A and B are shown apart, each in its own frame.
Chain A
Amino acid sequence: MTNKETSPAGNGKPKLAIYWAASCGGCEIAILNIGDKILAVDEAFEIVFWPCAADFKYEDVRNYPDHSIDLCLFNGAIRSSENEEMAHLLRQKSKVLVAFGSCAQEGCIPGLSNLTSASDTFRAIYMDNPSIDNPAATLPQTVTTVPEGELHIPVFYNTVRSLDQVVPVEYVIPGCPPEPPQIWAVLEAIVTGAPLPAPGSTVIGASHLAVCHECPLEKHEKTIERFYRPYEITPEPGLCLLEQGLMCMGIATRGGCGALCPRVGMRCEGCYGLLDGVEDQGANMISAIASVVNVGKPGDDEAELERRIGVAMDSIVDPAGTFYRFNMAHSLLHRVKTGNNGDVQNRGSETA
């Protein structure tokens, strides 16, 4: 290692950067939630960039030599020109860039805005919003002229992307947010020099099996008549939630969390994302549940089959938000089509 020459401060410890792009901040809290191990992190690494916790400027990073940051944990999706710029910058400066958490990995909740457009999003935030009074219909502008000169703010993109849709990443730590014990396990492995798997968007800090594998609830052959939202039923304890009609995403979601949600009767929402070899988490979930919905058997009365399909379908509320809650931006769907004006096409207009 040539850290001595290239390091920004040069105290010999591996250098760590943590950055927060388009995300809620939960990932940062999850890092702090490793508890007093955070002291060990401070002990082991030299923190060279962590805007949330310490006072670094972008300019500092620009001044670091290329590849001088040993490990960069990048959380948040790429939603604005600022996010994109930082992704490229940190890529350039880091040896190992990690997509940390669901936003960086797959777009997460910000990615759901790919179901609409930037202009519709602005309209919802700044105009059609009960808590806003904006009679002049003022919207954020990237360039504003003020007496003192021109003000620039980042461009708000139409499409949210995951980190690896913008720059290559070595590793991915999934989760919304990643579970602290898993974060610590990864950091500890790096500190102790334990071998990491081959890089290339490789998932670390998680299981290679689905949540069901670590879920202690009892599983049976599945036949589901209809689905329920969590408030509609009290699940029978000890029994697989999906079998009881709660849309548990555990079957299609990478484990590693310890099945925390299903353990306490809450359906898995899918935050650990897709499994290895899966093209699209939402699509896998949809075809799995479509295969076990009990609408009757072939040869049954057509009208009755159709009615029962209708019952099952009607009980699935908000399919995009259910099946693609975390993975919309990284899925095969990626985003809805928008017209020339940037507006989403065929929404509402066709349903009359």
Chain B
Amino acid sequence: MSEERVGVYVCHCGTNIAKTVDVQDVATWAAGQPHVTVARDYKFMCSSLGQEMVEQDIQEQGLTRVVVAACSPHMHEKTFQGACERAGLNRFMFEMANIRELNSWTTKDRESATQKAKSMVRGAVERVVHHRPLDMLPVPINPNTLIVGGGIAGITAALDIANAGYHVYLVEREPSIGGHMAQVDKTFPTLDCAACILTPRMVDVGQHPNITLLSYSELEQVDGHVGNFTVRVRKKARFVNEALCTGCGDCIEKCPGKTLDEVFEVGLGYRKAVYKPFPQAVPKYPVIDTESCIFFQRGKCKACELVCPTHAIDFTQKDEYLQLQVGNIILATGYDLFDARTIPQYGYGRLANVFTSMEFERMVNAAGPTDGQIVLRDGVTPPKSVGIIHCVGSRDKHYHEYCSRVCCMYSLKFAHLIHERLPDTEVYNFYIDIRASGKRYEEFYHRVLEEGTHFIRGRVAEVTDAARMPGEEGKLIIQAEDTLIGKQRRIPVDMVILSTGVQSRHDSHEVAQLFGMGCDFNGYFIERHPKLDPVLTMSDGVFIAGACQGPMAIPETVAQAGSAASQVISLISQGTLMMEPIRARINPDKCSGCRICNNLCPYHAITFHADRKVSEVITAMCQGCGACVSACPSSAITGAHFTAQQVMSQIEGILWDVRETIPLMAR
């Protein structure tokens, strides 16, 4: 072993490490450790000069192994592996000691941090001498892509990839694509009609030869890895034969089953038992909701079947299961709305004329339940005054601490739309801060200011119908502190709109689990890097786009979707992917066939050969997680680059100053 020539490089990381760790001391000390040929410290090891230093030492000093003590391998392992490779050393003859995240950032105690850095370096050195050269594994990439969620994010990404010539499976849970954007009326700040800009794209998705649209479908299972995922999708029974249906809507017209539409119309309107969420729905085929269908509930009706000119209604349809093979996956599952009932003092659900933002969107929408009329709950009376309460459920440590980022802007949009449709109506916006930081957002704010909206700065304490003063009878009174004048105010209005924030999807954790990735504290999917890799995740080949990553408006959503699409396209166009060969292998001569490992691979990479009574890891499916390696009681499974010898040597190295030899001569 001692012929190994190890180079040790201790990074200052500016002052990130050097402030806490005596890097010079660590380097000087390291130079005297077993196997170490050269040890240096340097300001920024990741800089090109730092890397060249490593390359030069490999060539001139004949280094056979390299240890860099710096930041997380997550940041720069590949950087230094590259340097090794350029100098002719196999990239796996390298080991990184993370003395930043795991050391200098955790303490201010210079002495113990320096001591710990030495231990970590010694561990890395003793490990690296047992490293073996390994070859990267080429994995072919399946050119098909799965996109989950057909909101504006999913639609945009699907079209980008399909237009590049690759096939896309777009899985949407609801009967139609469109997501939340399909529900809103005008879009801030330009006031484009949402439907006008969205519908053409929805139609493109429906017609694109490279897109298979699986609406009214749920993801059931995901196996495999980047380049080769196998996905099981459940296509829920529509009870309408898509091959026969022309989308004429005769069935909808004749259906006597009527029910409150809790999804698309957010409870503000009704739909039939056989329905499309909205007229421009894509695909155009309706679905039968068995809960409200008279035939499914009482066994009699079938009016739809009778009127359908193409006999497309099929009451015997069953859920269908599809197996898809894809190379990459984009998650674009969007957001849920904050439930306004969570804050009882604002009276939603109790006081009739308190509305949520989405209800108001549906109300002002010309295609909505009131045909675009702004009216009170009675359906006829226009309000003479409206209070819009910002930040409902957002920026509040009792609910969501974060800013939902869209509410200020849509609240301004609402104020504008009310002025436009009801010029005599007074509008009051209750806000904490106006957040109008997007392109043309501030200008929009000024426009609304000029239109005469009253802005009251302060968090609303309550909304009540208990009149205390003259002029309050029959009104909703908004009680708030006006922090600009330092006074409590009571503003009587006819209508209150709660600008409810957005939150992560109720099932985001389950979805994340299917893909072996994580959610943050608020339930949003975690990006690989918040600044540099916002659409990548920790699972290779799984990307995220849009509001499932965090609250965002349409422009940013679309930008992210485009970015995710281009990441996917660039992977597909590479054709094959070089994967780290860190995989498990079972030595058949040591496997007793006990079958302990058979059930525990999260990637289903282990098979049991009943004839030979041994287990085997399918290399292409193994992700190198190590679960089976530590479980095998016979130690028949080895994880490449994580052999027992490598791990034990590292532990021994870390404990260099405290280790005792086991055969104690203790009496």
| Chain A interface (Cβ < 8 Å from any Cβ of B) | 155, 157-159, 161, 165-166, 208-213, 219-223, 242, 250-252, 255, 275-279, 284-285, 287-288, 290-292, 298-299, 332, 334-335
Contact = CB atoms under 8 A, between A and B. Distances in A.
Interface string B614-639: 00000000000001001111110000
A299 B510 CA distance: 7
Interface in B570-610: 589-600, 608
Contact of B631 (A211, A220, A291): A291
Contact of B635 (A155, A211, A284, A291): A284
Contacts of A292: 596, 599-600, 631
B434 to A, nearest CB: 39
B666 interface: yes
A181 to B, nearest CB: 20
Nearest to B610: A219
Contacts of B632: 284, 288
Contacts of B590: 208-209, 275-277
B600 A291 contact: yes
Nearest to B608: A221
A211 B592 contact: yes
Contacts of B299: none
Given A155-B667, A209-B634, 10 more contacts: A157-B666, A165-B663, A210-B592, A212-B594, A213-B593, A219-B595, A277-B635, A278-B635, A288-B632, A292-B599
A127 B658 CA distance: 37
Interface string B652-667: 0000000000111011
B660 to A, nearest CB: 9
Contacts of A220: 595
A159 B660 CA distance: 15
B644 interface: yes
A298 B594 contact: no
Given A279-B648, A292-B599, A219 B594 contact: yes
A221 B634 contact: no
Given A279-B644, A292-B600, A298-B513, A251 B664 contact: no
A155 to B, nearest CB: 7
Given A221-B599, A251-B592, A158 B666 contact: yes
Contacts of B591: 209
Contact of A159 (B510, B597, B608, B664): B664
Most chain B CB neighbours (cut-off 10 Å) among A157, A212, A334: A212
Interface string B455-477: 00000000000000000000000
B234 interface: no
Given A279-B644, A291-B627, A291-B630, A255 B662 contact: no
Contacts of B662: 165, 332, 334
Nearest to A219: B595
Nearest to B648: A279
A212 B589 CA distance: 14
Nearest to B643: A277
B613 interface: yes
11 contacts: A209-B591, A251-B634, A275-B634, A275-B635, A276-B590, A278-B634, A291-B596, A291-B631, A292-B599, A299-B509, A334-B664
Contacts of A158: 666-667
Interface of B: 509-510, 513, 589-600, 608, 613, 627, 630-635, 644, 648, 662-664, 666-667
Contacts of A161: 663-664
Contacts of B648: 279
Contacts of B593: 212-213, 219
A252 B635 CA distance: 9
Nearest to B510: A299
Contact of A210 (B509, B594, B667): B594
A277 B648 CA distance: 12
Contacts of A219: 593-595
B275 to A, nearest CB: 33
A104 to B, nearest CB: 14
A278 B633 CA distance: 8
B649 to A, nearest CB: 12
Nearest to B632: A288
Across the A-B interface, give the 3 residue pairs with the lowest CB-CB distance, nearest first: A210-B592, A291-B631, A165-B663
A5 to B, nearest CB: 35
Given A213-B592, A213-B613, A287 B635 contact: no
A251 B596 CA distance: 8
Contacts of B613: 213
A279 B597 CA distance: 19
Nearest to B516: A298
Contacts of B592: 209-213, 251, 255
B32 to A, nearest CB: 29
A80 B659 CA distance: 26
Contacts of B599: 221-223, 292
A251 to B, nearest CB: 4
A250 B594 contact: yes
Nearest to A213: B592
Among B590, B630, B633, B667, the most chain A Cβ lie within 10 Å of the Cβ of B633
Nearest to B599: A221
Contacts of B663: 161, 165-166
B631 A288 contact: yes
Contacts of A212: 592-594
Nearest to A165: B663
B336 to A, nearest CB: 18
B544 to A, nearest CB: 19
A346 B223 CA distance: 48
A139 B613 CA distance: 56
B667 A284 contact: no
B595 A159 contact: no
Contacts of A166: 663
Nearest to A278: B635
Nearest to B667: A157
A166 B599 CA distance: 42
A251 B644 contact: no
Contacts of B595: 219-222
Contact of B664 (A288, A290, A335): A335
A78 B398 CA distance: 65
Contact of A284 (B513, B597, B633): B633
A252 B597 CA distance: 13
Nearest to A248: B594
Nearest to B627: A291
A222 B634 contact: no
Nearest to A161: B663
A223 B598 CA distance: 10
A157 B666 CA distance: 8
A335 B667 CA distance: 12
Contacts of B596: 222, 251, 288, 291-292
A276 B591 CA distance: 12
A284 B662 CA distance: 19
Contacts of A298: 513
A276 B596 CA distance: 18
Nearest to A157: B667
A157 B665 CA distance: 10
A212 B598 CA distance: 15
B229 to A, nearest CB: 19
A252 B662 CA distance: 22
Contacts of A222: 595-596, 598-599
A155 B634 CA distance: 38
A236 to B, nearest CB: 17
A277 B634 CA distance: 8
Contact of B630 (A213, A276, A287, A299): A287
B525 to A, nearest CB: 15
Contact of B633 (A165, A221, A252, A335): A252
A251 B598 contact: no
A172 to B, nearest CB: 15
Contacts of B509: 299
Contacts of B666: 157-159, 335
Nearest to B660: A334
A221 B598 contact: yes
B664 A210 contact: no
